[in-house]
Amino acid sequence: MVQGESGTGKELVARALHTLGSATGGPFVTFNCSNLVESLAESQLFGQVRGTFTDALEGSLGYFRSANGGTLFLDEIGELPLRLQPKLLRAVDLSPALCSVKSQ
């Protein structure tokens, strides 16, 4: 975990750790939690299957799957809605077994 005030270079530190670490061959994906659309939060983070809800015209990997094999940098994580924090913790614990949001 990289902590610091806004504008202090947390993303630069995370990129350096990514480059020097074991995930260097994978993608470095950044998601700013303050840009989260609460009604679409689970789909943004974990992906969706096409047709899951009215506006789901296409499937989406989500940020977790997009970072598979690399690093997911969650910026401004303190802005994440409280209801999503347990789901985020579970996703981190179970990251290899993540599933997209489905209609079932």
Q: Which domains does the chain have, with CATH numbers?
A: 10-97 (3.40.50.300)
Q: CA–CA separation, 83 vs 50, rounded Å?
A: 24
First-residue to last-residue Cα distance in the chain: 34
- Bigger pLDDT: 27 vs 53: 27
Q: In angstroms, how far is CA 27 from the centroid of its own chain? A: 12
| Average pLDDT for 11-16 | 93
pLDDT tens-place string over residues 37-90 = 877 777 888 876 665 655 656 767 888 888 888 898 988 888 888 888 888 888
Q: CA–CA separation, 59 vs 50, rounded Å?
A: 4
Helices and strands of the chain, counted as H and E runs: 4, 2
Secondary structure (3-state) at 71: strand
Secondary structure (3-state) at 15: helix
Is pTM, for the whole model, over 0.75? no
Q: In angstroms, how far is CA 89 from the centroid of its own chain? A: 11
